[in-house]
């Protein structure tokens, strides 16, 4: 993992956007796995700005949703679906045929997980995976545990995840999560980890110890040979 310490959130977002455009130039039809939340939002804004200047670069880009809050209607503004449509699909003019997703409130969550597994088998692997670092060290909704799931699965949400900013004000919280598994994430050709916010300092400190444990899912990124980690100043020790 290569660590880049940035002066601020804007620099972090711009550096990450430079990397994304470099990868798009190498492979215009790459499969881009998108995390949600505040850490990658600046990156997506930068991508939208660059789309205005070089729209053709994005003509074949494919987007894959990383995870979702389960049991919430897709049109609800807190869903990852709503976030990705607002911050990526709209600004980059990505049509439905180039968007790989899963429902937030499926009748059969297990079948929904199997469907995305099958989709990745046919259309994957992921070329570029954008991740944020959870306050408990999770990646996507792969929560700290004695063992981690390799493929897309239903996740039991931790108390800390249920306090996430996206759903913090909800009176009725999500019943579960749906997330890509660790093998699917680690099969990505390249991974970008974006870390912002003072609340992440403790996890950054643990991550930089380079000790691998399922109690800190993000630590498994040390096993991958192509990880770029960008830290803005607020997350630095």
Q: Which of 188, 175, 124, 186 is nearest to 150 (CA)?
A: 186
Residue 172: predicted pLDDT:
72
The DSSP call for residue 142 is: B
Q: Determine which helix (DSSP H) or strand (DSSP E) holds 131, and give its type and residue range.
A: strand 128-132
Contacts of 53 (CB under 8 A, 6+ apart): none
Q: What is the mean pLDDT of residues 134-152?
A: 94
> Predicted confidence band at 103 (pLDDT cuts at 50, 70, 90)?
very high
Clarify whether 87 is annotated catalytic: no
The CB density around residue 234, as the number of other CB atoms within 10 Å, is 16
User: What mean pLDDT value characterizes the chain?
Assistant: 93
Catalytic residue among 82, 138, 153, 164: 138
pLDDT of residue 54 exceeding 70, the answer is: yes
Residue 107: predicted pLDDT:
94
Catalytic residue among 68, 81, 143, 184: 143
What token pair was written down for 199? 């609340």
pLDDT of residue 169 exceeding 80, the answer is: no
Query: CA-CA distances (angstroms) from residue 94 to 43, 160, 201?
Result: 16, 33, 35
Contacts of 33 (CB under 8 A, 6+ apart): 64, 65, 66, 126, 128, 129, 130, 180, 185, 188
Residue 164: predicted pLDDT:
66
Packing angle of the helix pair 41-53, 9-26 (nearest 10 deg) = 50
Catalytic residue among 45, 76, 136, 228: 136
Contact 207, 168 (CB under 8 A): no
Q: How far apart are the first and last CA of the chain?
A: 18
Looking at CATH, the fold of the domain delimited by 2-235 is given as Rossmann fold (3.40.50)
Q: What is the mean pLDDT of residues 62-79?
A: 92
Clarify whether 136 is annotated catalytic: yes
Catalytic residue among 23, 67, 105, 112: 67
């Amino acid at each position: 993992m290569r660590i880049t310490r940035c002066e601020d959130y804007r620099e972090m977002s711009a550096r990450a956007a430079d990397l994304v455009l470099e990868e798009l130039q190498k492979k215009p039809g790459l499969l881009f796995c998108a995390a949600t939340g505040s850490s990658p939002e600046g990156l997506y804004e930068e991508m939208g700005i660059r789309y205005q200047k070089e729209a053709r670069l994005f003509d074949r880009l494919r987007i894959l949703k990383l995870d979702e809050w389960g049991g919430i209607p897709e049109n609800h503004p807190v869903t990852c679906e709503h976030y990705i449509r607002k911050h990526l699909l709209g600004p980059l003019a990505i049509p439905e045929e180039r968007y790989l997703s899963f429902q937030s409130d499926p009748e059969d969550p297990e079948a929904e997980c199997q469907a995305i597994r099958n989709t990745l088998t046919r259309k994957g692997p992921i070329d570029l995976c954008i991740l944020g670092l959870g306050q408990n060290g999770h990646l996507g909704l792969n929560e700290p545990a004695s063992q981690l799931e390799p493929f897309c699965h239903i996740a039991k949400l931790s108390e800390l995840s249920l306090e996430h900013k996206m759903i913090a004000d909800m009176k009725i919280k999500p019943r579960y999560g749906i997330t890509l598994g660790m093998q699917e994430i680690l099969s990505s050709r390249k991974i970008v980890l974006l870390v912002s916010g003072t609340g992440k300092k403790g996890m950054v400190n643990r991550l930089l110890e380079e000790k691998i444990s399922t109690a800190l899912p993000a630590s498994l990124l040390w096993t991958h040979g192509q990880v770029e980690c960008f830290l803005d100043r607020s997350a630095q020790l």
